[in-house]
Structure 1
Amino acid sequence: MDPQIEIEARRRADQKLMEGENKKQLVKELKKLIKQTRAGIAVKAIEYTKSDEDDEYVIIENYYGKTKKIDVTADSGIALMRDILAGIR
């Protein structure tokens, strides 16, 4: 492969990584899927939030009044989904 093409391809890949995944949208879409499962029946809300210090959290609230706060700071999209699913159990 031409070194210049390879450098450009890496630059574009790095740019994509810098843009990152839209965690808020991932949480929204995952919530829809979770609500379709037996485990998700009790889930009232799943919300993504970011603090002033750039810490990222997902808050899971159920209909029994229990709330979980999951730290998802620096999580990839897959790690974020895994953390949420583990938090529902």
Structure 2
Amino acid sequence: MRLHKGFSFLNKKDQNSDMDIDELISNFQPKIKASLRHTASQEREDLEQEITIKIIEKMETIQNLEAPGFWDFLEKIQNQKSGRKGE
């Protein structure tokens, strides 16, 4: 599954997580730098660190998500519909 160009590794739990984090941060680095141009120069370094921490936190959240497969999702929807008919 390809989530975004360069971010296909987000759902692969068997890879080295340190490498994943480094790759993720390097992919976001141009956007982070561009966004920081709009802040005061004395605040940029701290803000860059905070943004990096948030990206790492969100990556861990995404990696731990358990999304149902298509057929599981379809079965759940069908069960919900059949449950309503019996009411």
Q: Same fold (TM over 0.5)?
A: no
Higher helix share: 2
Query: Which one scores higher on RCO, CA 8 angstroms, separation ≥ 6?
Result: 2
Indicate the structure with greater strand content: 1
TM-score (normalised: structure 1): 0.29
Bigger-Rg structure (1/2) = 2
Q: Give the TM-score of the pair, scaled to structure 2.
A: 0.29
